[in-house]
Amino acid sequence: MSGVAAALFLGGWQGPFLPGVWWFLVKIYCILFFIIWLRWTFPRVRFDQLLNISWKWLTPLALLDFALAVVVAGLGG
């Protein structure tokens, strides 16, 4: 996954200082470090907590956004 991300989003093997293969490996290592750091830093969210956030916050916000879009479209904006 890190290799694909480095190839697609970080310019692949191109870099300013090292030869191509080494620069690509540095990019892969940085992505791996970032992913591992995120997993160790933030706690795991349980499924029931995700559902709670979805029903209490995200669904009402989505309905409010939809209503606002309907009003703006109705006013010709």
pTM above 0.85, yes or no: no
Determine the Cα–Cα distance for residues 56 and 76; give it in Å rounded to an integer: 31
Give the model's pLDDT for residue 77. Answer: 60
- pLDDT of 11-60, one tens digit each? 887 777 778 788 899 999 999 999 999 989 988 889 999 999 999 999 99
Q: What does the alpha-carbon distance between residue 65 and residue 57 come to, in Å, rounded to a whole number?
A: 12
pLDDT digits (tens, 9 = 90+) for 42-54: 888 899 999 999 9
